[in-house]
Structure 1
């Protein structure tokens, strides 16, 4: 079983390498320093939201409110800084607001037992309404220069600071899922929540922490986005909602839950980022890019479904 999962992620990594080589060879400007820098600055915010979505999908759920949680955090940070509060205080408040949103999702899903897709669809509308009532549909700016360095600055003049932040949380997520009791429980709930409950695991507590952790990752993504764009508004990162689901599924995460790896999601994020950048250089419009992302998502879901049916049939044949 381990060999199969390793093969899945390694093949995806090989695909990412092939896509990079082909685009470097055949798309003018793709391998230029300016384009590579743009991809490195865009990847962390997308990657953090994809990791947040992945960890929720592993439990068999989904979080449709994830980008609006990021927007809520971003608006909170913008309001604090525009009113003269220190940068660190604004960031802490933004993270607390994100965690509060995650707490709402986690409480209704884990304590009451309402379906995640229904809960997060409702909170998505709720958070959007709250943001619109605060911002009146306009953006909020007025960030300090030091804050803008988070999303636009370099470490030692070479590596973007946002990439370092992303790598840190990617490693943290991987360690939490693979090396902790909570991480093992996350996979168990996704595979069989009833059996997990009878094995002595507190499903409610595990799910609560999942939605809190996903909200924290969304809040970190909002810090990077607001500092990079120098503004916060209601649709902050909204284009990443479909893409985060696509990246998680393309990265090998089972949509029914029970399986998913951080490295697979990272490879998928890199592939999507390269495709988006390459198509943009070719002059393909953004709506067409979104259509292609949707087609990729549907294709991967269908292939995974067919593969699952074939494996199930083979198991029955072997048992017989």
Structure 2
């Protein structure tokens, strides 16, 4: 008499053997799409003004400038680094544009000054982290105070106003109908960063460094060079965001963009990018930006105080970091 082992059924199929459609439905991006649809429906019922086309267009200003930075921040965090000085870079870049404006610079020069200042700040962070090997979180906390402090020294209690009329287009202009220049610019940048991360050898190097920087170094990837470029890109996007934000506000103050770093990191982490590095996607970051924009706009229509939004962002950031670990242990 022989024993026969029972046949087990219902084993989970490994992800690599599942169809692309099945993998897509189980992805984090699919969850974000469902959340975005739910928030859109909720906002449409809670406020009669939400579905107005021009109101929806204005809602994009709540997230496009931060989302531009989040595109570059996503690559940086995937590589295992972080930049907490992005809001202060905006302040310094805006201050530099204000000084150029007072010196009589035209619109093209103002744009170049803002973007150039962002690139220089990113290069400084990259040199300290990639060149000297210092921890990025410590370096960027220091430069966060440094860049903002310079803006306060230059401006004090004053504000730069009186920018040329043509400069307002970058933050207030529309390309066609309800589609603002900022929204179109963000869409183009999202496509570029998607291609860079998911369709190039540079993107594969970013993932490799985030998973194991030592192994990436031994496999021939120039880790320090890649990280330096990533900090340059983050500074570049901060400079572009500074141009758009200064244009939209029409003035420069040293407190400009205060708190942006929290919202940018929240967008990236909510988008499915691992805070430990090695995984994430641009599509997830774009969806997270849309979700946060709709939530912010919905709170505004309901006259919810700004402090409640800050509390919501803090809870959201902690949740998207902690919940996956809790479910993993379970």
Which TM-score band applies after superposition, normalised by the shorter structure? Answer: over 0.9
- What is the CA distance between 1:120 and its match in structure 2? 0.1
SS in 1 for 2:160: coil
Q: Are 1:223 and 2:243 counterparts?
A: yes
Distance (Å, rounded) in 2 between the aligned partners of 1:280 and 1:154: 22
Distance 2:157 2:145 in 1: 14
Q: Residue 71 of structure 1 contacts residue 233 of structure 1 at CA under 8 Å; is this kept in 2?
A: yes
Structure 1 match to 2:165 = 145
Q: 1:173 to 1:221 in 2, by over 3 A?
A: same
Q: Distance in 1 between matches of 2:257 and 2:24?
A: 31
2:290 is matched with 270
C-alpha RMSD of matched pairs (Å): 1.6
Q: Is the 8 A contact 1:64 1:121 kept in 2?
A: yes
State the 4+ residue runs in structure 1 displaced beyond 4 angstroms: 1-6
CA contact (8 A) 2:57 2:178 kept: no
Q: Is there any run of 5+ residues in structure 1 with no aligned partner, and where?
A: 311-320
Structure with greater proportional helix content: 1
Mapped to 1, the partners of 2:84 and 2:232 lie a distance apart of 14
Q: Structure 1 residues 136, 182: closer, same or farther in 2, change over 3 A?
A: same
Structure 1 Cα separation of the partners of residues 89 and 182 of structure 2: 19
Q: Match of 2:300?
A: 280
- Of 78, 85, 91, 2:98 maps to 78
Q: TM-score, normalised by structure 2?
A: 0.89
SS at match of 1:143: coil
Partner of 2:135: 115
Contact kept, 8 Å, 1:41 with 1:152, in 2: the verdict is: no
Q: Please state how far the C-alpha of 1:59 moved relative to its aligned partner.
A: 1.2
Number of the residue aligned with 2:88: 68
TM-score (norm 1): 0.92
- Note if contact 1:139-1:231 (Cα within 8 Å) is conserved in structure 2: yes
Match of 1:171 in 2: 191
Deviates more, 1:274-283 or 1:198-207: 274-283
Extract unaligned runs of 5+ from structure 2: 1-14
Q: Which stretch of structure 1 is more off in the superposition, 94-103 or 234-243?
A: 234-243
Equivalent residue, structure 2, for 1:314: none
Query: Which structure has the greater CA radius of gyration?
Result: 2
- Tell me the equivalent position of 1:198: 218
How far is 1:217 from its partner?
0.7
